[in-house]
């Protein structure tokens, strides 16, 4: 009845008692001779012999009934006259006789294991017939319900195998006794077989070994008694919890034959007492992520790259695309796309369509500047080629927003048209408009010629020079005009003589354009305020076309020449640089009738013709001469000291016509004071000092005292000369 011959005896039984059966088994070996010589033995044997004799005689030497078939098959037990074979002879008893055939039972009793060695009491162990009676006929089952009841098992179907050292759980509890003990229900035990004995607790004793003996550990190290397909690895959670997507996997899906991590290789390590080596996610799963993302996530978590998957994908997830998978802002940035504004508020599904079955389509690996991957091109492909094709949207727009744009003047210069001057003040739509039929605003291909935006303010005047102006990049206007205003003309670019036939030489080159082209108060239809010379002066036919004659015809008298060295009009006297410039000289006698002799011939014109601070009504800047005598032009510096008869004759003292400073004055003859030797060494100013007379400063010559006291002893402050 033992499930395992080697099972351990219950600790509460047998250890505290001395088995009678064991004593019987051991005594013949330990004290046979002493027992044979014992008087009590001989007396007992004699008494038993007498009793047997009387009984046998009483029974007529007949058996109490036929023995069971299992005993009847034994020759020594067949028939009714071999009682001693079971009941013992002169030197043994029935228990010893039973154990001679049932050695396995004796071994259980000897080792305190199994049902006979661990469950029944000493009295029961020494009385085999108490549980296994015979002589009830051939079909009598010697192991029956009464047998188990006497052993303490009320229901054999509920037998607790723990009592015999076999922990039976799970599906084993659902098995019938005969599923394991094939002869358990047989009323007559087949010859040579056992009913309950002979089985082992090892799984392979009943179940086929799918591992072909390669496992080095017991089956219970991996399998439970519930089912072979539900493995129980107490240490597996140390490496990977078998839950979520890993819960329904079979062992062989991860631990295949011949693999470095096969089940067999693990058991070899366990049997040798070595630690099993765990695996990282990358050992089993191919990652669709780029190396930069894996490296960045691993570095942030301070983990090897192969173990970084769990930073986003938990082992409990059923699949990698599970909704619970989240990515932090830093992790998303590690993937190559920073979720800055305005992407920080965008739902994941807005960019990653959950309906896409393939990872590559759902997560295409967009770059930070791949705006076109999500946003439509509002420009209709105008920038697919050109200087900004490689930069994408961020070549003109900020990453955080599309408006306002970030297209700077420096970037506009890359289009071939640099924005300068007033062009910088224009809004984009003033040059880049939406077509009348609709569609995107036109940027690429917008004309960059001046004439495409501006009307010709010159009314076609320069069309005759069109072939000479075609070398200008943005049109003929840029040949002369600056981008600040049309009024701003680069002087070095405009050849007035070439483009108008009128060379700007001398003073004409110094004048502002407005001198000949006066500005109008309001612009015309073409936006022009710059005057046209012919409209202002009429047909240009000489100096008088623009300049009025300040001489009022004084140089156009009949006796005066009409040409001087081929020059006519004002040019007979005046140069182009200035009206004061006289390239042919000026014959004063010829033109005015007043000969310039002596000092007059050395004077500049302004000495007699005073320059005017402002031109007069005729535009004249030099004043007319005052007259032909000295007093007409020269002021009397002596304030009438030498006046006679209301007339001052300068020639009395200033005879030299070249200079007034050369005097013809004899002090001893022409004055009342003779100069002695000491006075001759004195400067004139020592005696003749300056004085103030009204608004004039003059030198006092007369009257002066002639006595010594008039000069000596008097300290006079010199008068300041008035600046002339």
Indicate the burial class of 479 (C-beta count within 10 angstroms; 0-12, 13-18, 19 or more): buried
Alpha carbon separation from 197 to 5, 108, 281, 517 (Å, rounded): 7, 10, 50, 135
Q: Quote the pLDDT of residue 17.
A: 36
Q: Widest CA span of the chain, in angstroms?
A: 224
Q: In order along the chain (724 residues), what is the average pLDDT of each group of 10 residues? A: 35 39 47 56 64 51 76 75 74 82 86 80 79 86 87 87 86 89 87 86 84 76 79 70 78 81 76 70 79 81 79 74 72 80 83 83 81 86 85 84 87 87 88 87 86 84 73 75 80 78 82 84 83 81 81 86 88 84 86 82 82 85 80 81 82 80 83 86 87 86 85 58 43
The DSSP bridge partners found for residue 625 are none
For residue 397, give every residue at least 6 positions away whose Cβ sits within 8 Å of its Cβ, in sequence order, or none: 371, 405, 406, 407
Distance CA 300, CA 196 (A): 64
Distances (CA, A) of 418 to 395, 408, 413, 488, 579: 17, 11, 4, 18, 44
CB 551 within 8 A of CB 531: no
- Alpha-carbon distances, residue 413 vs 144, 358, 417 (angstroms): 111, 44, 5
Reported in sequence order, the residue ranges of 383-422 that DSSP labels E, i.e. its strands, are: none
Hey, CA dihedral for 448, 452, 456, 460, is it positive or negative?
A: positive
pLDDT of residue 276: 66
H-run or E-run covering 697: strand 696-699
- Three-state DSSP at 611 gives strand
Axis-axis angle for helices 94-101, 20-36 (nearest 10): 110
Please list, residue by residue across 138-155, b when 16 or more beta carbons sit within 10 angstroms of its beta carbon and e when fewer do.
eebbbbeeebbeebebee
Contact indicator for 14, 117 with CB cutoff of 8 Å: yes
Contacts of 585 by beta carbon, 8 Å cutoff, 6+ apart: none
Structure tokens at 363: 């997560």
The SS3 of residue 295 is helix
- Residue 11: per-residue pLDDT: 35
211 to 200, 214, 262: CA distances (angstroms): 19, 6, 11
Q: Return the axis-axis angle of helices 103-111 and 94-101, rounded to nearest 10°.
A: 110
Q: Going by C-beta distance under 8 Å and a sequence separation of 6 or more, which residues neighbour residue 384?
A: none
Cis status, amide bond into 256, omega within 30 of 0: no
């Amino acid at each position: 009845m033992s499930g395992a011959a080697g099972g351990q005896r219950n600790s509460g039984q047998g250890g505290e008692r001395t088995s009678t059966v064991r004593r019987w088994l051991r005594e013949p070996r330990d004290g046979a001779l002493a027992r044979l010589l014992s008087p009590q033995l001989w007396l007992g044997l004699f008494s038993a012999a007498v009793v047997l004799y009387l009984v046998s005689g009483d029974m007529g030497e007949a058996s109490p009934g036929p023995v069971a078939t299992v005993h009847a098959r034994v020759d020594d037990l067949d028939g009714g006259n071999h009682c001693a074979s079971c009941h013992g002879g002169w030197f043994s008893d029935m228990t010893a006789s039973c154990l001679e055939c049932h050695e396995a039972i004796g071994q259980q009793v000897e080792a305190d294991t199994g049902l006979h060695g661990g469950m029944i009491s000493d009295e029961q162990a020494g009385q085999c017939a108490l549980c296994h009676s015979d002589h009830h006929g051939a079909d009598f089952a010697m192991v029956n319900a009464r047998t188990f009841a006497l052993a303490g098992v009320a229901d054999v179907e509920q037998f607790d195998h723990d009592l015999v050292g076999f922990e039976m759980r799970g599906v084993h509890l659902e098995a019938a006794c005969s599923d394991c003990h094939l002869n358990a229900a047989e009323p007559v035990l087949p010859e040579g077989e056992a009913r309950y004995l002979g089985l082992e607790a090892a799984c392979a004793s009943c179940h086929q070994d799918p591992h072909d003996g390669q496992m080095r550990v017991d089956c219970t190290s991996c399998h439970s008694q519930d089912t072979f397909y539900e493995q129980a690895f107490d240490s597996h959670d140390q490496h990977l919890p078998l839950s979520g997507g890993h819960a329904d996997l079979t062992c062989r899906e991860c631990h295949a034959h011949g693999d470095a991590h096969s089940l067999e290789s693990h058991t070899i390590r366990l049997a040798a007492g070595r630690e099993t080596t765990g695996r990282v996610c990358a050992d089993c799963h191919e990652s669709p992520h780029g190396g930069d993302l894996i490296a960045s996530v691993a570095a942030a978590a301070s983990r090897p790259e192969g173990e970084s998957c769990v930073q986003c994908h938990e082992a409990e997830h059923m699949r990698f695309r599970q909704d619970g998978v989240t990515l932090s802002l830093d992790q998303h940035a590690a993937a190559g796309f920073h979720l800055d504004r305005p992407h920080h508020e965008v739902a994941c599904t807005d960019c990653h369509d959950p309906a896409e079955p393939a990872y590559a389509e759902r997560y295409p690996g967009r770059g930070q500047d791949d705006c076109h991957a999500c946003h439509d091109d509002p420009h209709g492909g105008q920038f697919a080629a050109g200087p900004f094709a490689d930069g994408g949207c961020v070549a003109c727009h900020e990453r955080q927003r599309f408006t306002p744009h970030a297209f700077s003047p420096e970037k506009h210069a890359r289009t071939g048209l640099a924005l300068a001057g007033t062009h910088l003040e224009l809004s984009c739509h003033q040059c880049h408009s939406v077509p009348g039929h609709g569609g995107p605003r036109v940027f690429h291909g917008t004309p960059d010629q001046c004439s495409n935006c501006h009307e010709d303010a010159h009314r076609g005047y320069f069309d005759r020079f069109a072939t000479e102006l075609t070398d200008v990049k943005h049109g003929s206007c840029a040949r002369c005009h600056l981008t600040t205003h049309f009024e701003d003309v680069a002087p070095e670019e405009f050849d007035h003589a070439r483009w108008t036939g009128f060379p700007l030489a001398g003073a004409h080159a110094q004048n502002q354009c407005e001198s000949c082209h006066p500005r109008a108060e309001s612009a015309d239809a073409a936006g022009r305020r710059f005057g046209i010379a012919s409209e202002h002066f009429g047909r240009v036919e000489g100096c008088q076309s623009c300049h009025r004659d300040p001489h009022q015809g004084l140089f156009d008298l009949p006796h005066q020449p009409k040409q001087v060295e081929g020059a006519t009009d004002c040019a007979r006297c005046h140069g182009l640089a200035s009206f004061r410039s006289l390239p042919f000289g000026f014959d004063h006698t010829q033109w005015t009738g007043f000969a310039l002799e002596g000092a007059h011939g050395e004077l500049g014109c302004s000495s007699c013709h005073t320059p005017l601070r402002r031109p007069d009504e005729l535009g004249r800047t030099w004043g007319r001469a005052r007259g032909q005598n000295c007093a007409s032009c020269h002021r009397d510096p002596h304030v009438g000291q030498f006046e006679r008869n209301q007339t001052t004759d300068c020639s009395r003292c200033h005879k030299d016509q070249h200079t007034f400073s050369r005097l013809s004055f004899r002090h001893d003859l022409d004055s009342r004071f003779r100069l002695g030797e000491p006075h001759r060494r004195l400067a004139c100013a020592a005696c003749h000092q300056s004085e103030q007379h009204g608004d004039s400063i003059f030198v006092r010559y007369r009257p002066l005292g002639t006595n010594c006291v008039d000069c000596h002893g008097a300290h006079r402050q010199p008068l300041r000369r008035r600046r002339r």
